[in-house]
């Protein structure tokens, strides 16, 4: 999604802002821009459609000089990706603003502002903020006060950074519903929608809270005011994840690097969370045992890939922990009447912890009588983490590729820890717990073995690159893995893909199968194997080309039109995690062959902070 960077420094800020934007590129965007206040208080702006490199080329041709500036990568929600719609937006020559989010009452505000003589030059909702701020500044002559007055008129979500030529050594920021952090430097301060943007200049951050307004000024301490206008001391956190995420480490794409990081990521997600024979309930927080012991069922709410992780967890929770579970996409859950039986735990899954729909669902759930809320999340300090009763950090490290890979597998590990923890309190067989704990310990090794199949999977992918459609099949807890495989292929290779529970094929989608329809299936050696094999025969009988990822012990012969790739044996409970990997690699290689933008696929964004 959109990215914000702002800087009030002792040096020229163009380079800081540009590097910040480059580091936010992974979030997905369609245009970029920057406004810098020169030392003689002139506001200069550059904007460009497309990549940050296009903005950089424009800046090379005419650099911006100044020690205060704001910059933005835009993922259009209102108005096409054009230069006129790119941020920063200005009101006259005095004030500039960058915005993440959506202003829902923009039409009403626009009509009001136009009647007062303000002239609009873009189709964005954001431009109303620029003119509102200018109007309030004209009344108050104080940027902080103007921001306070203006945001009070906005309905919707925003993170903002604002600069004004009459107050040339400061920036005011504000957030509600979209993330914004302050980077604390020495005599310099910064704003960004993600700490990653600022790691070259600081590793100390204040995570702003809902409704906060912040003033960063040269040589002055950062001043944060809460929604009521009270000055607040917010703690400064040191960023502890290192800056390794910013480089591809020799891999061709971030996505490939992240796929290959999964053995370490899974090990990190388990670190300190297992005893000899059990999962440690306290990994979910000091209140976990008290809350978990009241849990009779679970509602899981998430979006996209995280939703698929939730679907796997439903099979696990019911099979191993004996706990009923429901899973729902957040954008549906938040707008319907939900019945919450006594003893229900509310679980959210989000890589970024800022996914707007999931966050709204959590807020909606708060008044619905759940026994507690648990966030499984990858970003410490994120809104979801701060607003939940319990949290489990997935420890996957920053994920840069828009298509989620390692965040998904680490969520699955976290959800298995949840299954074991709830299972333990619900009488799950002790020796089965111990077996799964043992299998979890060997999982990083098994993942490394699967990654060794990369070359063979690349060869298989050649059969896909030219296809327009694909079907993914799975049964039981591997149906969500098929869904995730199809999503990955759609996201990065733009090949239309659908996933079905294999038994559903004959009820409709079999009509699509012919030699032009590759059918991909995951076949671990579980109790559904024989049924799955019959479903695969049905495909073969209609001339469909089969690509099967199967347990090494499964008797399934390679033949014309049947490609089989063997995976090491793993405890059936963990097979969904292992079988995710070949599907990630398959999509990756198909996308590389098609020449798409693997890390930033068209139209998509990471950290979906708008509704
Ligand atoms: N609504 C604004 C900003 C969009 C956004 O935050 N995307 O992530 C626009 O369309 O410019």
Task: Reply yes or no on whether the pLDDT at 465 is more than 90.
Answer: no
pLDDT digits (tens, 9 = 90+) for 380-405: 778 899 899 999 999 898 898 889 99
pLDDT of residue 91: 97
pLDDT tier, 266 (very low <50, low <70, confident <90, very high otherwise): very high
pLDDT digits (tens, 9 = 90+) for 575-606: 999 999 999 999 999 999 999 999 988 888 77
CA 240 – ligand 1 centroid, Å: 30
Angle, CA 264 vertex, CA 564 and CA 281 arms, to 5°: 105
Task: Reply yes or no on whether the pLDDT at 249 is more than 60.
Answer: yes
Nearest CA to ligand 1 atom 6: 100
- Burial track 385-394 (b if 16+ CB lie within 10 A, e otherwise): bebbbbbbbb
pLDDT of residue 374: 98
- Burial track 315-343 (b if 16+ CB lie within 10 A, e otherwise): bbbeebbebebebbbbbebbeeebeeeee
Task: Reply yes or no on whether the pLDDT at 611 is more than 80.
Answer: no
Q: Which residues pair with 3 in a beta bridge?
A: 73
Overall average pLDDT of the 477-483 stretch: 97
Among residues 2, 51, 303, 377, which one is catalytic?
2
pLDDT of residue 177: 78
pLDDT tier, 1 (very low <50, low <70, confident <90, very high otherwise): low
pLDDT of residue 28: 74
Out of 77, 180, 354, 356, give the residue to mutate to test ligand 1, the one with the largest number of ligand atoms within 8 Å of its CB: 77
Overall average pLDDT of the 199-221 stretch: 94
Q: Which residues pair with 102 in a beta bridge?
A: 157
Overall average pLDDT of the 266-281 stretch: 90
CA neighbours closer than 13 Å in the CB half-sphere of residue 22: 14
pLDDT digits (tens, 9 = 90+) for 530-579: 777 787 888 888 888 899 999 988 887 788 888 999 999 999 999 999 99
pLDDT of residue 54: 97
Catalytic residue list contains 377: no
The mean of the pLDDT values for the chain is 93
pLDDT of residue 291: 97
Could you give all domains of the chain from N- to C-terminal order, each with its CATH number?
A: 3-245 (3.60.20.10), 248-449 (3.40.50.10490), 452-611 (3.40.50.10490)
Q: What is the DSSP letter of 387?
A: H
List the single range of 8-22, 221-235, 319-333, 378-392 with lowest mean pLDDT: 378-392
Catalytic residue list contains 606: yes
Q: Is the four-CA dihedral 593, 599, 604, 606 of positive or negative sign? A: positive
pLDDT tier, 609 (very low <50, low <70, confident <90, very high otherwise): low
Ligand 1 atom closest to residue 608's alpha carbon, by position in its atom list? 8
Cα of first residue to Cα of last residue in the chain, in angstroms, is 11
Ligand 1 atom closest to residue 102's alpha carbon, by position in its atom list? 1
pLDDT digits (tens, 9 = 90+) for 25-52: 877 788 999 999 999 999 999 999 999 9
pLDDT tier, 610 (very low <50, low <70, confident <90, very high otherwise): confident
Overall average pLDDT of the 450-463 stretch: 95
Ligand 1 atom closest to residue 77's alpha carbon, by position in its atom list? 10
Ligand 1 atom closest to residue 1's alpha carbon, by position in its atom list? 8
pLDDT of residue 307: 98
Out of 126, 129, 357, 604, give the residue to mutate to test ligand 1, the one with the largest number of ligand atoms within 8 Å of its CB: 126
Task: Reply yes or no on whether the pLDDT at 516 is more than 60.
Answer: yes
pLDDT digits (tens, 9 = 90+) for 75-127: 888 999 999 999 999 999 999 999 998 898 999 999 999 999 999 999 999 99
* DSSP H or E run through 305: helix 304-316
Q: Which residues line ligand 1 (CB under 6 A)?
A: 1-2, 74-79, 99-102, 124-126, 609-610
CA 315 – ligand 1 centroid, Å: 37
CA 5 – ligand 1 centroid, Å: 15
Task: Reply yes or no on whether the pLDDT at 245 is more than 60.
Answer: no
CA 384 – ligand 1 centroid, Å: 21
* DSSP H or E run through 497: strand 496-501
Residues near 531 by beta carbon (within 8 Å), at least 6 away in sequence:
475, 502, 503
């Amino acid at each position: 999604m959109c990215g914000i960077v702002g800087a009030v420094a002792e040096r020229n800020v163009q380079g800081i802002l540009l590097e910040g934007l480059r580091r936010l590129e992974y979030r997905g965007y369609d245009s970029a821009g920057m406004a810098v206040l020169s030392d003689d208080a002139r506001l200069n702006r550059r904007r460009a459609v497309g990549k940050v490199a296009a903005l950089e080329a424009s800046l090379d041709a005419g650099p911006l000089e100044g020690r205060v500036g704001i910059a933005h990568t835009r993922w259009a929600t209102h108005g096409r990706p054009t230069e006129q719609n790119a941020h920063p937006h200005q009101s006259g020559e005095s004030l500039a603003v960058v915005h993440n989010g959506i202003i829902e009452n923009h039409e009403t505000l626009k009509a009001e502002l136009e009647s007062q003589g303000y002239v609009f030059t873009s189709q964005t909702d954001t431009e109303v903020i620029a003119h509102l701020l200018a109007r309030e500044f004209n009344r108050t002559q104080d940027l902080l006060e103007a921001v306070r007055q203006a945001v009070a008129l906005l309905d919707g979500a925003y993170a903002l950074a604002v600069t004004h030529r009459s107050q040339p050594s400061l920036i005011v920021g504000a957030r509600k519903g979209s993330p914004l952090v302050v980077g604390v430097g020495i005599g310099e301060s910064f704003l960004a929608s993600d700490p990653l943007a600022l790691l070259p200049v600081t590793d100390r951050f204040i995570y702003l809270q809902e409704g906060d307004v912040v003033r960063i000024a040269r040589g002055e301490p950062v001043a944060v005011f809460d929604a009521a206008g009270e000055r607040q001391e917010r703690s400064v956190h040191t960023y502890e994840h290192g800056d390794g995420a910013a480089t591809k480490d020799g891999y061709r794409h971030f996505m490939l690097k992240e796929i290959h990081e999964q053995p370490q990521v899974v090990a990190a997600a388990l670190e300190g969370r297992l005893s000899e024979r059990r999962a440690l309930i306290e990994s979910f927080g000091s209140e976990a045992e008290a809350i978990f012991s009241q849990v009779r069922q679970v509602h899981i709410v998430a979006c996209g890939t995280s939703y698929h992780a939730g679907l796997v967890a439903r099979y696990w929770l019911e099979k191993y922990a004996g706990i009923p579970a429901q899973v729902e996409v957040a954008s549906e859950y938040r707008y319907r009447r939900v019945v919450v039986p006594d003893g229900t735990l509310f679980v959210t899954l989000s890589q970024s912890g800022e996914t707007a729909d999931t966050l709204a669902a959590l807020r909606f759930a708060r008044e619905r009588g759940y026994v507690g809320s648990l966030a499984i999340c990858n970003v410490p300090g994120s809104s979801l983490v701060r607003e939940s009763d319990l949290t489990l950090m997935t420890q996957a490290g920053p994920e840069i590729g828009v298509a989620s890979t390692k965040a998904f597998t680490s969520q699955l590990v976290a959800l298995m820890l949840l299954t074991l923890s709830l299972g333990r309190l619900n009488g799950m067989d002790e020796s089965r717990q111990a077996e799964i704990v043992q299998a979890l310990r060997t999982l990083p090794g098994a993942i490394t073995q699967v990654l060794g199949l990369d070359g063979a999977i690349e060869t298989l992918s050649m059969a896909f690159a030219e296809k327009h459609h694909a079907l993914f099949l799975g049964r039981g807890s591997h149906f969500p893995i098929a869904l995730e495989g199809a999503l990955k292929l759609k996201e990065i290779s733009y090949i239309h893909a659908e996933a079905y529970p294999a038994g559903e094929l004959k009820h409709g989608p079999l009509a699509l199968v012919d030699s032009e329809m590759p059918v991909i299936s995951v076949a671990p050696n579980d109790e559904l194997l024989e049924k799955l094999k019959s479903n695969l025969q049905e495909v073969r009988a209609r001339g469909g080309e089969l690509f099967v990822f199967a347990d090494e012990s499964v008797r399934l012969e390679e033949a014309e039109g049947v490609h089989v790739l063997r995976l090491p044996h793993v405890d059936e409970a963990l097979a969904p995690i292992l079988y995710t990997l070949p599907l990630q690699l398959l999509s990756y290689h198909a996308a590389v062959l098609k020449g798409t933008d693997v890390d930033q696929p068209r139209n998509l964004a990471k950290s979906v902070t708008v509704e």
